[in-house]
A and B are shown apart, each in its own frame.
Chain A
Amino acid sequence: MGRIVVTGIGVVSALGNSLHENHRGLIAGKNALTRLELFPTKYAETRYFGEVKLTDENLRKELVLTDKGISRTSLLALKAMSEAITHSQLQNSRLESKNTAIIGANTVGGMCHTSEFLHDSTSLDNPSIYISSYDNGSVTRFLQNQFGIKGISNTINTACSSGANAIAYGAELINAGLADRAIVGGVDTLAKFTINGFNSLHILSPEICRPFDNFRQGLNLGEAAAFLVLEKEEDAIGKEIYGLLTGWSNTNDAYHASSISDNGDGPYLAMKRALEMAELQPSGISYVNAHGTATENNDITESRAMMRLFENVPPFSSTKSYIGHTLGAAGAVEAVYSLLSLKHQELYPNLQFEEAIPETGLLPVKQYQRAEVRHVLSNSFGFGGNCSSLIFSAV
């Protein structure tokens, strides 16, 4: 089986509207978590969010789209995917081939447009402009149509691990001979649905989130989109390669609908199986881009799982400390950040961290640093016990 390389990456998040801006933000180590400026919710002034400071109109203008019925989720996705395709220098003939797969991930679809969604789901007349844009799959169908992609198309929703699973599925399609290349990624936008959902579970932090800190008080929600172009190594000769995708896994914690088991069985198995697939010993991992949501439950169980797996826990950090938890996008955004870490041989700090959790004593990366980075492990765990890990390796 040939190797799978990443030839293009694109991202839009609170940290920036392009890969370059995101990279600069990661190096600068300044969080992008703010009060809300664009999205109306009762919590706009009392919680912090990773908001992309582009209105839907700005996005439509930039993307040269006139149809107003395209959801914000689809707009952010198109922006990130266009950047990834540009970086990959994928020719149109290849892009439009039936051997190109497109795999998206999201959890809110077009439900970010709350009042339109509520109208359309409770009326039998006057459809809103978003009538065809609510389901998760609508986002990927829009992208597929924009680029004329003819291969296998899919959308995955495994809650907060969706983005990671979309990447793994794309890689599997290539390995199984069902696609020659795959455009894979995730997106989610801020929505009253998720803001109130996480609030009802009492896991929205009243302060800027502090992953892995002893006094963490929960997560901040964010919105983002990130896409990757996966190709076979032999098809990518002469291209700039960001890294190899060498391992992935999908396991279930099978413990509780919205929290992870004390020992972190799901996270432990996810990391272990990804290592097995990449044929790596735990000691081979140079850096862990942790799930690190900053909830009480996630950070302690993820820490325990890392301590079970690694004799010495490698440098790790949660980049959710910059942009919050972007749900269906998180796995893809963090894959992009992991690839930047590999490409530039550097580690990004875990912001807002002050004091270790006493039980674990684990200290995340606290300063930006240059480092030798060979293999990066990226974790994504979600509701329903869905746990996935990806491993990216230097070429």
Chain B
Amino acid sequence: MKIYIHNSNCIYPQAAFDKLDEVALNLSENNRLKAIEPTYEGIPKGVLRRMGKAVRIGVGAALPLISDKELVGIILGTANGGMEDCVRFFNQIIDYDEGNLTPTNFVQSTTNAIASQIGLMATNKGHNSTHVHAGLAFENALIDAFIQLRHNPESQYLVGGVDEISDYNYNIDYLGGWNKTEPTLNTELFESKTKGSIAGEGAAMFLASGAENGAQSCITAMETLPSGALEEVAEWQKVFIGKHFSSGQKPDLILTGENGDPRELPFYNAIESLYPNTTFARYKHLTGEFPTANALGLWFANQILERQKVPAVMMKKGRTESIRRILIYNAYHQSQHSLMLLTKV
């Protein structure tokens, strides 16, 4: 597999990558870590007003990347799309007893509203898809990109992951046991011993191509595994590494989706036990947990390769010198796993 990343952009809860060690971290409130939104200069005010948050941050992160590009298609991962609009429409249904309702929330709430809005604003008539498979939605968007690039290797696709925190998906995750019940700051996330994580949100967008020329980095391998069995996951991690690293070789950095939930920790410990002396970094105290958070994981890895620097705030252990290959491992709800290998071009 070869997906070259030519550029990236994100909207997420923290400052720009190179400011991460200079400014204090944005803190979670009520166990939610909210995205810092820009002013959205490129979006007409009337259009912006009608956009729900997922659409807004998705389109907002995409537009700066694509304004001067010839795109062949748009491929997104989002588990929930616009949940806020979705429940607003449900509230209309209840409040007006299934009467005459206004359709805006309904149209905005469909998960494909983000990719289609980008298609509309970029008048892009190419491949346009939305993958919604929870913790593997973004990874499937990457697989889709890989598939499409086989047909058009020289072309560029917009690929990304987006999810929002609304009260509604927060509550559903809370009731499902995925959010911590006691107030926890993101800065204390990894010390927490209670189950669940803190909720996050964000959008990360990439220009992906099969062409190496001008690229920043390359996804040279990616695999996903649906499994809740620790042994099976640990074995799969080992096999993946065996396929891509000969003995004596190792990734320069392993970036994990560790999220402060002790139920997820064994999966992360499994990969750490394979490389006791490797450098480990993590990012979910910067983003919070959400199904497509690993899109930000990839964004961080790409930034790290570009700038040859791991922000101190992300480091778990070890030290970094030259960084050429980063292994990204993420587990979602103890049942959806992905491994990705990002290599400097």
Give A contacts to B, CB under 8 Å: 41-43, 107, 111, 114, 117-118, 120-125, 127, 131-132, 134-138, 140-141, 144, 149-150, 152-159, 165, 169, 172-173, 175-176, 178, 192-193, 195-197, 199-201, 250-258, 265-266, 269, 382-386
Q: Are A127 and B150 in contact (CB under 8 A)?
A: no
CB-CB under 8 A from B93, the residues of chain A are 114, 192-193, 196
B120 lies within 8 A of chain A by Cβ: yes
Q: Which residue of B lies closest to A253 (CB)?
A: B125
Q: B104 CB to closest chain A CB, in angstroms?
A: 9
Known: A252-B119, A385-B128. A43 touches B112 (CB 8 A): no
Q: Are B90 and A383 in contact (CB under 8 A)?
A: no
Q: Quick one: which of B106, B123, B127, B174 contacts A250, CB cutoff 8 A? A: B127
Q: Are A124 and B133 in contact (CB under 8 A)?
A: no
Q: Which residue of B lies closest to A155 (CB)?
A: B133
Given the complex of chains A and B, what is the CA–CA distance between A161 and B119 in angstroms? 16
Q: Are A123 and B175 in contact (CB under 8 A)?
A: yes
Given the complex of chains A and B, what is the CA–CA distance between A382 and B119 in angstroms? 14
CB-CB under 8 A from A256, the residues of chain B are 120
Q: How large, as a class, is the contact surface on chain B?
A: 35 or more
Known: A121-B171, A132-B176, A385-B116. A254 touches B125 (CB 8 A): yes
Q: Quick one: which of A43, A117, A137, A200 contacts B106, CB cutoff 8 A? A: A200
Q: Quick one: which of A121, A136, A150, A266 contacts B169, CB cutoff 8 A? A: A121
Q: Quick one: which of A131, A153, A193, A200 contacts B86, CB cutoff 8 A? A: A193
Q: Are A383 and B119 in contact (CB under 8 A)?
A: no
Q: Which of B91-143 contact A (CB under 8 A)?
A: 92-94, 97-103, 106-107, 110-113, 115-117, 119-120, 122-134, 136-137, 140, 143
Q: Are B226 and A153 in contact (CB under 8 A)?
A: yes
B224 lies within 8 A of chain A by Cβ: yes
Sample of 22 A–B contacts (CB below 8 Å): A42-B98, A127-B175, A127-B176, A136-B111, A136-B133, A137-B137, A141-B134, A150-B225, A150-B227, A154-B140, A157-B132, A158-B128, A169-B147, A192-B98, A196-B98, A197-B107, A201-B103, A258-B103, A258-B107, A383-B113, A383-B116, A385-B119
Q: Which residue of A lies closest to B181 (CB)?
A: A124
Q: Are B98 and A152 in contact (CB under 8 A)?
A: no
Told that A121-B169, A200-B101 touch, could you supply 10 new A-B pairs with CB distance under 8 A? A122-B168, A141-B336, A155-B133, A156-B130, A196-B98, A196-B101, A196-B106, A252-B128, A254-B122, A384-B119
Known: A384-B110, A384-B113. A131 touches B100 (CB 8 A): no
Q: Are A131 and B80 in contact (CB under 8 A)?
A: no
Q: A244 CB to closest chain B CB, in angstroms?
A: 19
Q: Are B112 and A384 in contact (CB under 8 A)?
A: yes
B87 lies within 8 A of chain A by Cβ: yes
Q: Are B175 and A159 in contact (CB under 8 A)?
A: no
CB-CB under 8 A from B99, the residues of chain A are 42
Q: Quick one: which of B98, B106, B124, B227 contacts A254, CB cutoff 8 A? A: B124
Known: A124-B175, A137-B132, A137-B133. A200 touches B127 (CB 8 A): no
Given the complex of chains A and B, what is the CA–CA distance between A269 and B72 in angstroms? 14
Known: A132-B176, A192-B93, A252-B125. A382 touches B112 (CB 8 A): yes
Known: A178-B143, A386-B128. A157 touches B112 (CB 8 A): yes
B146 lies within 8 A of chain A by Cβ: yes
B272 lies within 8 A of chain A by Cβ: no
Known: A123-B175, A137-B134. A107 touches B110 (CB 8 A): yes
Known: A131-B175, A257-B113, A382-B112. A122 touches B128 (CB 8 A): no
Scoring A118, A197, A250 by chain B CB atoms within 10 A of each residue's CB, the highest score goes to: A197
Known: A138-B134, A158-B128, A257-B117. A200 touches B110 (CB 8 A): no
